[in-house]
Chain A
Amino acid sequence: MFVSEWSEKLTSHAKQQFMKSPFWIEAAKRGLCWEAAVMDKPSIQEAVDRMDEASTAVLRVFHICFGAGPVSEERLFLSRAGLSGAEFRYGLIQLQNAGIVFALRQGWGERLYAMPSDCFLLWHPVLFPMNKLSAADSGYGIWEHRQEDMSNKPLGRQLLTAWAELARSGLGLTSKGILPKKTTAKLMQAITLTDADMKQAGWQPETLDSYSPAVSFVLKLSMHLGVIALDGNRMKWNEKTLGEWLAEPELRQEALLLQWCLEELLEKRPAMWHIMALLARLDPGTWYSETVMAEEVRHHGLEGREWDQSLDNCLNLLRVFGWMELARVADGRMMRWAMKPLLLQDQQRQEARQEPVMIEPNGDLLVLPGCPNRIRWELELIADRKSDDQISVWQLTRSSIGRALAHGRTIPSVLSFLHAASGGLPISPLLESSLMDWGKQDPLDTKQSSDIYPMLTLDHESVTVEFQLRSSGQTLVGCELMNHEDFRIERFLPELDRVPLSWLQQLRSYHHSTRLEIMEKALSWQAPVHLSMDDAIVAFVPARLERLDGGWAVTGLLREALTHKEVCLTPEMWQGMKLIAPGVSGFV
Chain B
Amino acid sequence: MERQDGPLIVQSDMTVLLDYEHPLSEEARRRLILYAELVKRPGNWHTYKMSSLSLWNAASAGINAEAIIDSLKKYARYGLPGVLETNIRKLMDRYGKLRLEIHEGNLLLHGEESLLNELAGHQVILECLRERRNNETWEISPEYRGQLKQELIRLGFPVIDLAGYHTGEALSVALRAVTRQGKTFELRDYQRQAVDLFYKEGTIQGGSGVVVLPCGAGKTIVGIAALARLNSATLILTSNATSVQQWKEELLDKTTLQPSEVGEYTGASKEVRPVTIATYQILTHRRSKKDSFSHMKLFSERDWGLIIYDEVHLLPAPVFRMTAEIQATRRLGLTATLVREDGCEEDVFSLIGPKQFELQWKTVEAEGHIASVKCTEIRVPLDQGISELYHSAEKRSRHRLAAENPGKVPVVRQLLERHQGTPTLIIGQYLDQLHALADSLEVPVITGELPQQERQSLYEQFKAGDVPVLAVSKVANFAVDLPDAAVAIQISGSYGSRQEEAQRIGRILRPKEGLNEAWFYTIVTDDTKETEFAARRQMFLLEQGYQYELEKR
State how many angstroms separate the Cβ of A135 from the closest Cβ of chain B: 13
The answer to whether A362 and B539 touch across the interface, beta carbons within 8 angstroms, is yes
Q: Is B1 an interface residue (CB 8 A)?
A: yes
Q: Is B86 an interface residue (CB 8 A)?
A: yes
Residues of B within 8 A of A339 (CB): 1
The answer to whether A390 and B1 touch across the interface, beta carbons within 8 angstroms, is yes
Residues of B within 8 A of A428 (CB): 43
Given A361-B42, A364-B42, A366-B17, the answer on whether A430 and B86 have CB atoms closer than 8 Å is no
Give A366's nearest chain B residue, CB to CB. Answer: B45
Question: Which residue of the partner chain, among A149, A287, A358, A363, contacts B44 with CB atoms under 8 Å?
Answer: A358
State how many angstroms separate the Cβ of B283 from the closest Cβ of chain A: 37
The answer to whether B548 and A285 touch across the interface, beta carbons within 8 angstroms, is no
The answer to whether A437 and B13 touch across the interface, beta carbons within 8 angstroms, is no
Give B538's nearest chain A residue, CB to CB. Answer: A430
Given A150-B12, A338-B1, A390-B11, the answer on whether A361 and B85 have CB atoms closer than 8 Å is no
Q: Is A387 an interface residue (CB 8 A)?
A: yes
Q: Is A295 an interface residue (CB 8 A)?
A: no
The answer to whether A143 and B82 touch across the interface, beta carbons within 8 angstroms, is yes
Question: Which residue of the partner chain, among B2, B9, B42, B87, contacts A390 with CB atoms under 8 Å?
Answer: B9
Given A151-B12, A285-B2, the answer on whether A360 and B83 have CB atoms closer than 8 Å is no
Residues of A within 8 A of B549 (CB): 429-430
What range describes how many residues of A lie at the interface? 35 or more
The answer to whether A358 and B2 touch across the interface, beta carbons within 8 angstroms, is no
Q: Is A50 an interface residue (CB 8 A)?
A: no
**B142-150, B330-338, B527-535: which lies at the A interface?**
B527-535
Q: Is B550 an interface residue (CB 8 A)?
A: yes
The answer to whether B11 and A389 touch across the interface, beta carbons within 8 angstroms, is yes
Question: Which residue of the partner chain, among B9, B532, B543, B550, contacts A362 with CB atoms under 8 Å?
Answer: B543
CA distance A389 to B2 in the complex (A): 15
Q: Is B469 an interface residue (CB 8 A)?
A: no
Residues of A within 8 A of B377 (CB): 430
The answer to whether A325 and B531 touch across the interface, beta carbons within 8 angstroms, is no
CA distance A287 to B78 in the complex (A): 15
- Contacting B at CB under 8 A, from A310-347, are 325, 327, 336, 338-339
Q: Is A142 an interface residue (CB 8 A)?
A: yes
Given A360-B42, A362-B40, the answer on whether A437 and B531 have CB atoms closer than 8 Å is yes
Given A285-B2, A285-B79, A362-B542, the answer on whether A398 and B13 have CB atoms closer than 8 Å is no
Residues of A within 8 A of B538 (CB): 430
State how many angstroms separate the Cβ of A355 from the closest Cβ of chain B: 10
Residues of B within 8 A of A140 (CB): 86, 89-90, 93
The answer to whether A430 and B548 touch across the interface, beta carbons within 8 angstroms, is yes
The answer to whether B13 and A141 touch across the interface, beta carbons within 8 angstroms, is no
Given A143-B86, A285-B79, A387-B15, the answer on whether A360 and B44 have CB atoms closer than 8 Å is yes
The 8 A CB mask of B1-19 against A (1 = contact, 0 = none) is: 1110000011111010100
Q: Is A17 an interface residue (CB 8 A)?
A: no
The answer to whether A369 and B83 touch across the interface, beta carbons within 8 angstroms, is no
Residues of A within 8 A of B542 (CB): 361-362, 430
CA distance A429 to B551 in the complex (A): 10
- Contacting B at CB under 8 A, from A133-174, are 138, 140-143, 148-151
CA distance A336 to B85 in the complex (A): 14
Q: Is B81 an interface residue (CB 8 A)?
A: yes
Residues of B within 8 A of A138 (CB): 82, 85
CA distance A366 to B42 in the complex (A): 12
CA distance A148 to B15 in the complex (A): 14
The answer to whether B86 and A141 touch across the interface, beta carbons within 8 angstroms, is yes
- Contacting A at CB under 8 A, from B89-104, are 89-90, 93
Residues of B within 8 A of A338 (CB): 1, 81
Residues of B within 8 A of A362 (CB): 40, 42-43, 539, 542-543
State how many angstroms separate the Cβ of A315 from the closest Cβ of chain B: 13
State how many angstroms separate the Cβ of B86 from the closest Cβ of chain A: 5
The answer to whether A151 and B83 touch across the interface, beta carbons within 8 angstroms, is yes
- Contacting B at CB under 8 A, from A387-402, are 387, 389-391, 398
Per the CB 8 Å criterion, the residue count for chain B at the interface is 39
Give A391's nearest chain B residue, CB to CB. Answer: B9
Question: Which residue of the partner chain, among A366, A387, A429, contacts B550 with CB atoms under 8 Å?
Answer: A429
CA distance A362 to B10 in the complex (A): 21
CA distance A360 to B538 in the complex (A): 13
State how many angstroms separate the Cβ of B377 from the closest Cβ of chain A: 7
The 8 A CB mask of A466-485 against B (1 = contact, 0 = none) is: 00000000000000000000
Residues of A within 8 A of B82 (CB): 138, 141, 143, 151, 287, 325, 327, 336
Q: Is A551 an interface residue (CB 8 A)?
A: no
State how many angstroms separate the Cβ of A114 from the closest Cβ of chain B: 36
The answer to whether A389 and B12 touch across the interface, beta carbons within 8 angstroms, is yes
CA distance A470 to B11 in the complex (A): 35
Residues of B within 8 A of A440 (CB): 527
Given A284-B2, A325-B82, A430-B377, the answer on whether A389 and B43 have CB atoms closer than 8 Å is no
State how many angstroms separate the Cβ of A421 from the closest Cβ of chain B: 16
Q: Is A509 an interface residue (CB 8 A)?
A: no
Give B19's nearest chain A residue, CB to CB. Answer: A358
Q: Is A210 an interface residue (CB 8 A)?
A: no
Q: Is A183 an interface residue (CB 8 A)?
A: no
Q: Is A354 an interface residue (CB 8 A)?
A: no
The answer to whether A361 and B11 touch across the interface, beta carbons within 8 angstroms, is no
Q: Is A12 an interface residue (CB 8 A)?
A: no
Q: Is A434 an interface residue (CB 8 A)?
A: yes
The 8 A CB mask of A430-443 against B (1 = contact, 0 = none) is: 10011001001000
Give B2's nearest chain A residue, CB to CB. Answer: A285
CA distance A266 to B539 in the complex (A): 50
Question: Which residue of the partner chain, among B10, B87, B93, B535, contacts A149 with CB atoms under 8 Å?
Answer: B87
CA distance A389 to B13 in the complex (A): 9
Residues of A within 8 A of B90 (CB): 140, 142
The answer to whether B548 and A398 touch across the interface, beta carbons within 8 angstroms, is no
Question: Which residue of the partner chain, among B1, B9, B93, B548, contacts A284 with CB atoms under 8 Å?
Answer: B1
- Contacting A at CB under 8 A, from B41-96, are 42-45, 78-79, 81-83, 85-87, 89-90, 93
Residues of A within 8 A of B79 (CB): 285
Residues of A within 8 A of B13 (CB): 148, 150, 387, 389
State how many angstroms separate the Cβ of B549 from the closest Cβ of chain A: 7
Give A326's nearest chain B residue, CB to CB. Answer: B82
Residues of B within 8 A of A361 (CB): 42-43, 542, 548
Given A364-B42, A387-B13, A434-B535, the answer on whether A285 and B1 have CB atoms closer than 8 Å is yes
Question: Which residue of the partner chain, among B9, B17, B81, B550, contacts A325 with CB atoms under 8 Å?
Answer: B81
CA distance A387 to B39 in the complex (A): 15
Residues of A within 8 A of B11 (CB): 387, 389-391
CA distance A96 to B42 in the complex (A): 64
State how many angstroms separate the Cβ of B384 from the closest Cβ of chain A: 19
The answer to whether A151 and B44 touch across the interface, beta carbons within 8 angstroms, is no
State how many angstroms separate the Cβ of A150 from the closest Cβ of chain B: 5
State how many angstroms separate the Cβ of A417 from the closest Cβ of chain B: 19
The answer to whether A143 and B543 touch across the interface, beta carbons within 8 angstroms, is no
State how many angstroms separate the Cβ of A229 from the closest Cβ of chain B: 35
The answer to whether A391 and B535 touch across the interface, beta carbons within 8 angstroms, is no
Max chain A C-beta neighbours (<10 A), residue from B89, B93, B379, B535:
B535
The 8 A CB mask of A357-386 against B (1 = contact, 0 = none) is: 011111110101100000000000000000
CA distance A363 to B2 in the complex (A): 29
State how many angstroms separate the Cβ of B499 from the closest Cβ of chain A: 17
CA distance A353 to B4 in the complex (A): 13
CA distance A339 to B12 in the complex (A): 15
Residues of A within 8 A of B45 (CB): 358, 360, 364, 366
Question: Which residue of the partner chain, among B85, B543, B550, contacts A430 with CB atoms under 8 Å?
Answer: B550
Not counting A140-B93, A434-B531, A437-B531, a sample of 8 additional A-B residue pairs whose C-beta atoms are within 8 angstroms of each other reads: A138-B85, A150-B12, A151-B12, A285-B2, A285-B79, A362-B42, A362-B43, A430-B542
Can you offer 13 A-B residue contacts whose CB atoms are under 8 A? A143-B83, A285-B79, A325-B81, A358-B44, A360-B43, A362-B40, A362-B539, A366-B17, A389-B81, A390-B81, A430-B542, A434-B535, A437-B532
Closest 7 CB pairs of A and B: A362-B42, A360-B43, A389-B11, A325-B82, A360-B42, A362-B542, A391-B9
